[in-house]
Structure 1
C-alpha cells in the first residue's frame, strides 16, 4: 500500500510499502481519514531517533488518527463496518505487570505506532484492536477526532494534577501539547489558566480558547506576571509543556505553597531541578508519559462542547503533499499549532 515512509534521517518518500496485517477475532480494519503531524514524528524525521528509539529500517510515520471501520473480526461486539472512529495508538501487553496495575501506558512492552520498529498510520488502512478503537459521536469531526491523541496527553496531565474547582493553572509552552493541556485544565476545573510562550501568534490562539491570560516571556518576566495575576500567591498547578531546559529552570518560582508541578514536555537535555524551592513549598511533582484510560473522556468532552480543538488545527495537507508537510513542520513555522494530513477518500 502507498505510505509515507521515513527512509532515514532527513529522507522521506511517498511510495508503495509492503506491509501485511493479520485480522484477529478482536480486531477491526480501519480506513484512515485524517492523521495529525506530531512533534515526535518530526523528531524522527530530523534526528533519526529519539532516546532509545532509533530508526534502523524504513518506517511509516503517523500516530494521531481517525477513520472509518471497514471490516471487523468475528468476536468484535462494539463496532461495525461504517462506524467513524479514533484509535489509541499504543497497544500494551495485557499480561504485563504494568497493564495489570492499570498503568498500561508505561508497560515496557507497549507497541506504539510510529515508534521504531512499529509502523505508523500514514497509509490507507490499519488493523487495530477493538479495545483501543473508539466510536465517534456524529457531531465530532474526523479532524477533531485526530486531535484526541494529543488531547489525551493534556487530559492525562490534568488528571495527574488533581485539579480542584477554581484552581489557577500555568502552562509553559503554547505548542499543540501546551494548548490542549490548557483546554484540559479549564475542562478539569481551573478557573483561569496562564499560558506562556515566545510566539505571539500562538499566544493569540491561546487567548481565544477561554479564560486564558497570555504572557510572552521575551517581553515580560513570567514569575512577575504570575504573581501580579495571583496577588502574590502563585498558581496552584504548573504544567511544563515546552521541554525547554531554560523555560523549566524556574518552574517552582511561580508555584504557590502546596501546589503541583506536572512535567509533560519531553526534552533531550537535562532539566534542572531546584530541590530547595520545591521543598519549601512542599510541592507535589508529577510526570506524564503519554496517557491511560482517557480516550473516552476526550471524545465525550469534544462531543459535549466542553473542549473545542478546532482553533488548534491551523493547516491541512493532502496525502500527496505529505513530504512537503513534514518539511514545513520541521522548520517550526511561527503561528502553526497542529498540522494534519487528509487521507484519500
Structure 2
C-alpha cells in the first residue's frame, strides 16, 4: 500500500511499500482517517534517531491516529465494523514483569508505532489489537481523536504530579505537549497555570486558552512566578521543551515541597541542581509516554473539559505528506499541531 516512508535522514517518499499484517483473533483492521505529525516523527526525519532508537532501514512514520474499524477478529466483542476509534500505539508484552505491575509503558519489549524497527501508520490502513483501540463518541471528530495520543502524555504528566485543587503550575514549552499538559493540569484542579516559551504566536494561543504566558526571551520564568506568588513559587513545574537550558532551571520557580515533572526528551545528560532540589524537598517525577489514560482523554474531549481543536493549526492531504513534514520541520511560528487527513 502507499505509505509515507522515511528512507534515510532528511529523505521522505510517498510510495508503495510492502507491508502485510495478519488479522489475529483479538485484532481489528482500521481505515485511517487522520494522523498527527509528532515531534518524534520530525526528530527521526531530521536526525535519524532518538536516544537508543536508530532508523537503520526505511520506516513508515506516524503514530497519532484515528480511523474506522473495517474488520474484527473472531474474539473481539467490544468493537464492530463501522466503529470510529483512536488507537494507543504501544503494544507491550502482557506477560512481562512491567505489564503485570501495571507499568506497561516501560516494558522494554513494547512495540510502538514509528519507533525503529516498528512501522507507523501514515498509510491507508492497519491492524491493531482491539484492546488498544478506543471508541470515539459521534460528536468527537477524527481530528480530535488523533489528538488523544498527545493529550495522553499531558494527562499522564498531570497524574504523576498528584495535583490538588487550587494548585498552581508552570509549563515550560508551548508546543502541542506543553499546551495539552497545561490543559490537563487545569482539568486536574490547578487554579492558575503559566506557560513559558520563546514563540510569541504560541504564547498568544496559550493566552487565548486562559493560561498566563511568559516570554522567556524577556526574562526567566522565576522572575514572573515568584512576585506573583509572594515569593513562594508554584506547586508544579512541567518541563516540556526537551531543552537542556530549560531543564537546568526547573527548581528556581518551584515552591517548597513542590513537584517537577520531566516530560521533554533529553538526548544528552542535563545539569541537575541537587542543592536547589534539596532545600525545597522537591519531588521529581519522570514520564515515558503514558499508561491507562486513553479512556480518560476521550471522556474529557467528549465532555468539553478539554478542547483540543484550537491546537490543530494546519491540515494536509495524505498526498501532500512529504510537504507536510517539510513544513513541520521548518517550525513555522504559531503552528502547534499539524495533521494529515486521508
Give the shorter-chain TM-score range.
over 0.9
CA positional deviation for 1:331: 1.2
- The secondary structure found in structure 2 opposite 1:43 is helix
Unpaired runs of 5+ in structure 1? none
Task: Give me the whole-angstrom Cα distance separating, in 1, the residues matched to 2:190 and 2:268.
Answer: 30
- The secondary structure found in structure 2 opposite 1:239 is strand
- The secondary structure found in structure 2 opposite 1:292 is coil
Q: Deviations over 1:282-318 (max 9, x none)?
A: 0010001000000000000000000000010000000
* 1:42-53 pair list within 5 angstroms: 42-53=42-53
- The secondary structure found in structure 1 opposite 2:14 is strand
* 1:231-242 pair list within 5 angstroms: 231-242=230-241
* 1:187-198 pair list within 5 angstroms: 187-198=187-198
Asked if 1:186 is matched to 2:190, the reply is no
- The secondary structure found in structure 2 opposite 1:184 is helix
Structure 2 equivalent of residue 274 of structure 1: 273
Q: Deviations over 1:4-60 (max 9, x none)?
A: 000111110000001010101110000000000000000111111111111111100
Structure 1 equivalent of residue 264 of structure 2: 265
Structure 2 equivalent of residue 137 of structure 1: 137
CA positional deviation for 1:221: 2.7
- The secondary structure found in structure 2 opposite 1:261 is strand
* Structure 1 segments (4+ residues) deviating >2 Å: none
Structure 1 equivalent of residue 121 of structure 2: 121
Aligned residues: 342
Task: Give me the whole-angstrom Cα distance separating, in 2, the residues matched to 1:269 and 1:176.
Answer: 22
Structure 1 equivalent of residue 284 of structure 2: 285
Structure 1 equivalent of residue 5 of structure 2: 5
Structure 2 equivalent of residue 244 of structure 1: 243
Q: Deviations over 1:258-280 (max 9, x none)?
A: 00000000121321110000000
Structure 2 equivalent of residue 68 of structure 1: 68
Structure 1 equivalent of residue 334 of structure 2: 335
Task: Give me the whole-angstrom Cα distance separating, in 1, the residues matched to 2:335 and 2:270.
Answer: 26
Asked if 1:201 is matched to 2:201, the reply is yes
Q: Deviations over 1:191-243 (max 9, x none)?
A: 11000000010001111113x11100101331110012212110000000011
| TM-score, structure 2 normalization | 0.99
The alignment yields a C-alpha RMSD, in angstroms, of 0.6
CA positional deviation for 1:248: 1.6
- The secondary structure found in structure 2 opposite 1:297 is helix
Asked if 1:160 is matched to 2:140, the reply is no
Task: Give me the whole-angstrom Cα distance separating, in 2, the residues matched to 1:323 and 1:32.
Answer: 17
CA positional deviation for 1:190: 0.3
| TM-score, structure 1 normalization | 0.98
Q: Deviations over 1:70-128 (max 9, x none)?
A: 00000100000000000000000000000000000000000000001100000010100
Structure 2 equivalent of residue 303 of structure 1: 302
